[in-house]
Amino acid sequence: MTSASGGTLQEPSRALLEALGATPTAAGVTVTEGSAEGIPAVYACVKVIAETLGQTSLKVFKKLARGNKEPDEAHPLYHLLHDLANPEMIASEFLETLTGHACLWGNGFAEIERRKSGTVKALWPLHPGWMTVDRDALNQLRYSYRIPGRAEPIVYHWDAAATPIFHLRYNGGRSPIRVLRESFATTKALEQYLATLFGNGARPGGVLQSKDPVKITEAQIAVIRKQWNDLHQGVGNANKIAVLPGGLQWQSVGMPPEDAQFAQLMGFQVEQCARIWRVALFMIQSMEKTSSWGTGVEQMGIGFTNMTMMPWYIRWQQTIARDLLTYKSFETHTALFNVASLSRGDMKSLNEALQVQRQNGIINANQWREIVDMNEQAGDQGDQYWRPMNYVPADTPVADPTADRGTPHTPDVTEGAA
């Protein structure tokens, strides 16, 4: 039977294999998004990005005049994005799940459940490996979701008025795992080799040689091999004393791990994973090398926020505006992450920065208290702005110190008389 892509069931075409992520690699290991996630460095990088985004407060704001804004808890999206994405998943879990999917597959999908009025009621994550995105006869986006065991896929047609799918794209929708499958295949091959090395305590990378000129039969070879493996193969049998039959001696032809510099190779693969997702090595517990992200934890954290996380925040905010906001609310509302919340770990630096803003009239006391999760002050004092008394507007004229200041007052001799 020939497939539509030109291959057969016995020998599928390369295009079909690439679509399924099953193309062979030079290392001889097939790599998919699922298998790549089993690499510790990959898992750590994805976890760092997803959990950081999940812990950042996300709110829907109402746009006010002159660029101002205020949180709008009455908006239907506010509590979905801030508290509960659907009856089974809190908001942080939803953010982490779709971000993790996008990191691995290049896409994160969620079905948008809407009320009759068109407002969003719930967001349900969909497995990116089961989703196919193409265009219909009208050249509009079409999402086909094929659940294993189900004959026909669920098809979602794009609708400008009410988008059925929330679609978060990363790397242009391309899977980093497939783009860089050779690198990940090398890592998987190293892991499999090490696992096999420890599993085969018999050290199969060697031979049993006979000094006896008498020829050993095939049957005897099979018996000797079986006895050797039974007695010495496996971690539990490692380092046992070997008793060789008369005339046989062991000759190693394998490459010991220290000769292959496995530690350096595995360390290089950790660096590769950190480089792909732009994660600092110290954030995935790799401390062997110094970091160029800064001289302290605070500076490295700032670098991580600006260089790694900021593109994710912008990507999420703009996708929410496109897929979840209606035409009307697109003009009146916006979803924003509170990136300042990531600085709470260093309260000293945070409060020093807030103090400078407070003293210069940039924020008031209530805005300061909101950032550190405190209630507003009672009365109106918390809404007042301060500024130093010697500060004046830039266009205020400066008095001339040489100008006539008038005739000085001469007291009357009778002043103060009884």
Angle at 142 between CA 138 and CA 145, to 5 degrees: 155
- pLDDT for 10 equals 46
- pLDDT for 227 equals 72
Alpha-carbon distance values, 288 to 271, 291, 294, 295 (Å)? 11, 10, 16, 15
Q: How does DSSP classify residue 74? A: T
Rounded Cα distance, 38 and 23, in Å: 18
- pLDDT for 117 equals 86
Alpha-carbon distance values, 149 to 74, 130, 145, 153 (Å)? 41, 12, 12, 10
SS3 85: strand
Token couple for 181: 């499958």
Rounded Cα distance, 64 and 161, in Å: 25
Token couple for 394: 């830039």
SS3 368: helix
> What are the residue ranges spanned by the domains of the chain?
30-200+257-343, 206-253, 346-393
- pLDDT for 405 equals 56
Rounded Cα distance, 386 and 354, in Å: 13
Angle at 87 between CA 85 and CA 88, to 5 degrees: 90
C-beta separation of 155 from 144 below 8 A: yes
User: Tokens 């992450």, residue?
Assistant: 337
Q: How does DSSP classify residue 8? A: B
Q: Is the dihedral of CA 157, 163, 169, 172 positive or negative?
A: positive
The model's pTM is 0.73
Helix, strand and coil percent figures for the chain, each rounded to 5:
45, 15, 40
| DSSP, residue by residue, 182-226 | HHHHHHHHHHHHHHHHHH-TT-SSEEEEE-SSSPPPHHHHHHHHH
- pLDDT for 45 equals 94
Rg (CA), the chain: 34
For the chain, 418 residues long, give each residue's pLDDT as a single digit of tens: 433 444 444 444 444 445 555 556 766 677 888 888 888 889 999 999 999 999 999 999 999 988 888 999 999 999 999 999 999 999 999 999 999 999 999 999 999 999 988 899 999 999 999 999 999 998 989 999 999 999 899 999 988 778 899 999 999 999 998 888 888 887 777 777 766 666 655 454 555 566 665 566 778 777 777 776 776 565 455 555 555 565 666 665 455 555 445 556 667 778 888 889 999 888 887 766 555 555 566 677 778 888 899 999 999 999 999 999 988 898 999 999 988 767 655 677 778 888 888 888 888 898 888 877 788 888 888 888 887 777 766 556 656 655 555 555 566 655 555 4
Rounded Cα distance, 356 and 382, in Å: 17
C-beta separation of 86 from 124 below 8 A: yes
Q: Hey, how many other C-beta atoms are within 10 angstroms of the C-beta on 232?
A: 17
Rounded Cα distance, 407 and 42, in Å: 83
C-beta separation of 85 from 122 below 8 A: yes
The arrangement of strands across the sheet holding 154-157 comes to: 131-135, 141-145, 154-157
- pLDDT for 325 equals 92
- pLDDT for 380 equals 84
Rounded Cα distance, 182 and 28, in Å: 10
